[in-house]
Structure 1
């Protein structure tokens, strides 16, 4: 039988930790005589050392076979550039399957492009929904799943979402969470950032803050109130804030200086998760961070009105607070009084998701 070529698409920082276990599993099966091969396609949606470059080295991801180098731009500009350049690649060197992960612009753009050329699409992290159409990621999820052939899911909730959309059971594969594969594999490799000693940080003696969504950071006065609420509620503990480029622009305009709030650049994978693992709590508006805190048993407060990962709330350590600074103050009071809930790890978040995905693909693709 002939070998089968899978395009693995990565475009932004969250993608790299999700593709690493799949690549590792494919490499292992190749050594054992498997027929699946892959071509790693980096769209270039994010590409600088802080936002993506470190991930290749730290997570053992091979350098991309192809970099589309689309660069920055509006969502429409990025989508168009990715589709044009990926289409050109597929016409010149066709793949048998386009495998996309997550919900970034690259995921949607490459899935649509492949499907229009008659190439099957597999979506890892399919079926998750926040119900909030104001989030670009929600549009990406819905558009991607609309053109997907095979759906790899992280939870029973995602399975239910797909069933309600009319997807047949034979196309849904509940495999678990590849991001957790990466976390568990690297747990003992996590290492403190360079500023750990300079800030006199101690396990359980600081909080981690990550904010980047427009609803939290774009309006200066609201952003300032959130930061003040963090300061007021953390009992003088240091707050480490790896600053996303979007938030940095607003911070510079605010000229804010809050004692105990320490700004730093976005951290590489191993350093960031070391900070999370040893924090008293995490305050975030990220989806992926809530999954990592759930597995590490770290209290997590999400400053959003909805989540596409409800299992982190119903099973894990996460709570959805909305964007009201007063709600954050109340949650911090509960944290410091010892009233935060204990979480559990969701089903199949066990470190073997990448292997399960490859086993399924081996059963599907050679046919």
Structure 2
């Protein structure tokens, strides 16, 4: 059984690493399953992509389509054209896509047009905000997917409402948490830990990249100033996404407690998150990691595609109005933040469940042992 796995952007790498490990284990057990790893090149900055392969022990991709850059349409088109050639040259039985990035959408479309079945890891999550490119990617990908591997019962419900059948939907848990739990003992402090003299639970981590927060310079300035005004003299570490860096250059914001750093590797970033007083973000994936690590998380968005991080976990939606930060920060410092819990099946065994289901669906057999004289 031949599987093609797609990775294109930073979050993908965290999600495919445990799946590759689980497939490798099945190969050791004698199952006739193989994979081809395709990197679309959607993100090609070393800190945003290559370091993840190195740190998470992912094998070098079999091919890099080098499709980064350009507008949404240009990037989608580039990936589709290049991946079509790749898939025709290397046919497979199943395409595995993860998450909600452009690569996920583009490669799923190509596969279906070539009559290849598609499995979507992290299927069924919905924000309800169609203005987000990721929401378009989710809806279109799930409209043509054959098998849906979900992170929550809420995602199952979304898919059922969209007409998917119970035999297509498999609640498996969260592969990002597999990676988190596998790598947690290897977390390592980044240089800023020492240069800024950071101490556990005595600083904030902030990430911002969504248009609603960073595209308007006046709003971005107000947002950062509000964070600094309410962080009670604690340092704020801000690993800056390339998109946000361009905006920060224009507003030239500076504060003695605000530490702007380049994007960090997975092990370094999560060291900061695990030891932070709290995280302020507009990312979706980070809210999952803070939930499992029990770190308070403030999400500067009006909607989330990961409601379980709010219902069960440590995350809270504050919206995009900077004024919402002051009362949230006050509650945090007064010890009123919720403790949270861990959602069902976020136990580090998701990739094993995915791989086992693929083996069952495609009736993959163990190869007979070879006897040697």
Matched, 1:86 2:83: yes
- The alignment yields a C-alpha RMSD, in angstroms, of 0.7
TM-score by length of 2: 0.97
Residue 204 (structure 2) aligns with: 207
Aligned-partner Cα distance in 2 for 1:339–1:366: 51
Residue 53 (structure 2) aligns with: 56
Matched, 1:47 2:79: no
Residue 133 (structure 1) aligns with: 130
Match of 1:274 among 271, 274, 281: 271
User: 1:276 offset after TM fit, Å?
Assistant: 0.2
Name the SS of the counterpart of 2:249 in structure 1.
helix
Match of 2:6 among 9, 12, 18: 9
Residue 287 (structure 2) aligns with: 290
User: 1:259 offset after TM fit, Å?
Assistant: 2.4
Residue 225 (structure 2) aligns with: 228
Aligned-partner Cα distance in 2 for 1:348–1:137: 24
Match of 1:247 among 244, 249, 253: 244
Residue 150 (structure 1) aligns with: 147
Residue 169 (structure 2) aligns with: 172
Matched, 1:65 2:62: yes
Matched, 1:351 2:348: yes
User: 1:116 offset after TM fit, Å?
Assistant: 0.6
Aligned-partner Cα distance in 2 for 1:169–1:123: 15
Aligned-partner Cα distance in 1 for 2:72–2:263: 22
Aligned-partner Cα distance in 2 for 1:59–1:191: 13
Match of 1:219 among 196, 216, 229: 216
Q: Any stretches of 5+ residues in structure 2 without a counterpart?
A: 365-373
Match of 1:98 among 95, 99, 109: 95
Aligned-partner Cα distance in 1 for 2:131–2:350: 30
Name the SS of the counterpart of 1:222 in structure 2.
helix
Residue 361 (structure 1) aligns with: 358
Residue 108 (structure 1) aligns with: 105
Matched, 1:337 2:355: no
Aligned-partner Cα distance in 2 for 1:45–1:198: 32
Aligned-partner Cα distance in 1 for 2:69–2:4: 22
User: 1:89 offset after TM fit, Å?
Assistant: 1.1
User: 1:36 offset after TM fit, Å?
Assistant: 1.3
Aligned-partner Cα distance in 1 for 2:356–2:90: 25
Aligned-partner Cα distance in 1 for 2:122–2:173: 9
Aligned-partner Cα distance in 2 for 1:63–1:102: 20
Q: Any stretches of 5+ residues in structure 1 without a counterpart?
A: none
Residue 29 (structure 2) aligns with: 32
User: 1:366 offset after TM fit, Å?
Assistant: 3.4
User: 1:92 offset after TM fit, Å?
Assistant: 1.7
Residue 321 (structure 1) aligns with: 318
Name the SS of the counterpart of 2:195 in structure 1.
coil
User: 1:194 offset after TM fit, Å?
Assistant: 1.4
Aligned-partner Cα distance in 1 for 2:104–2:298: 27
Name the SS of the counterpart of 2:280 in structure 1.
strand
Name the SS of the counterpart of 2:167 in structure 1.
helix
What are the superposed Cα offsets for residues 320-348 of structure 1, whole Å, 9 maximum, x if unpaired? 00011110111111101111011000000
Name the SS of the counterpart of 2:193 in structure 1.
coil
TM-score by length of 1: 0.98
